Structure 1
């Protein structure tokens, strides 16, 4: 193997910078497929609610929560579709390593916005379903804590715990 090819190799894998970018791109796309479907289905259901007769009878606070939820869902959808548009626009420009970084950033942003959308939607549904505001915030806070634990705390703990210092 020549010295130029050796310089492109990364520790732990036998792949060049471009091979690594290709692999990481596929990983990002697979991750996006999972969350994108969920956020689009949720947003689709949310968009229909305003056209139901029950919506007009909601308190203004619940209507405001609904509007915030729809906007958050729309923002999440945009962030999660963004990497596809990014890839299509920069394809063939030999900048895939940079595109992967930006796609990963958009994906994390989309996941955070999905977290906010789900939390807001849960708040709205529980407020309407129970008509009782005394315990609903506690339930929503508990679910939010669960999301944070599963989506951020555990992965960051695993990353810290098992990433070697080398």
Structure 2
């Protein structure tokens, strides 16, 4: 049986395979960015100026390290789920769970990017600059999420 509702001639299994490949490709992009940010954060602790951080900036830094770890774990979770469910004929459930985990990863990465921008600006230029950087990053991120959610709503999904 072929589903042609969107102009494609593919079976349900072919569609699930394509959707899973899309999820994996998107995870590759998200995890590459997460790895870069994580590496930056880990390197910060070994810099001589790390001792110059105020107690508040240390807390901010540790929250960011926690978010980076969470983003990495969430990004790896779909692969672990796939491995645990491989061969059990539950591809639809695997794809659905992978999709939800990817969305959760993207939310955490968004918060991480906002936090890193605020952290750097706060350390270099002060608290007001950090707040402004966080607000600007949050507005840009919200706009991008709104574009996607708006397109999703218009598609009737």
- Rg: which structure is higher? 1
CA distance in structure 1 between the aligned counterparts of 2:156 and 2:100, rounded to whole angstroms: 23
CA distance in structure 2 between the aligned counterparts of 1:58 and 1:125, rounded to whole angstroms: 11
1:160 maps to which residue? 153
Q: Does 1:134 align with 2:128?
A: yes
99, 103, 113: which one pairs with 1:104? 99
TM-score, normalised to structure 1, is 0.87
Q: Does 1:11 align with 2:15?
A: no
Greater displacement, 66-75 / 79-88: 79-88
Q: Does 1:143 align with 2:116?
A: no
Q: How does 1:84-95 map to 2 (within 5 A)?
A: 84-95=79-90
Q: Does 1:29 align with 2:24?
A: yes
CA distance in structure 2 between the aligned counterparts of 1:134 and 1:75, rounded to whole angstroms: 28
Q: Per the alignment, in what secondary structure is the counterpart of residue 62 of structure 1?
A: helix
Aligned length: 156
Q: Is the 8 A contact 1:69 1:117 kept in 2?
A: yes
Deviation at 1:24, TM superposition (A): 0.4
Change beyond 3 A, Cα 1:164–1:108: closer
CA distance in structure 1 between the aligned counterparts of 2:55 and 2:39, rounded to whole angstroms: 22
Q: Is the 8 A contact 2:67 2:108 kept in 1?
A: yes
Deviation at 1:133, TM superposition (A): 2.0
Deviations 1:54-82 (A, max 9, x none): 11221000000000000001000111111
Q: Which runs of no fewer than 5 residues in structure 2 stay unpaired?
A: none
CA distance in structure 2 between the aligned counterparts of 1:139 and 1:23, rounded to whole angstroms: 38
Deviation at 1:47, TM superposition (A): 1.1
Q: Per the alignment, in what secondary structure is the counterpart of residue 75 of structure 2?
A: helix
Q: Which runs of no fewer than 5 residues in structure 1 stay unpaired?
A: none
Q: Is the 8 A contact 2:121 2:129 kept in 1?
A: no
66, 72, 89: which one pairs with 2:61? 66
Q: Is the 8 A contact 1:17 1:97 kept in 2?
A: no
Deviation at 1:10, TM superposition (A): 5.6
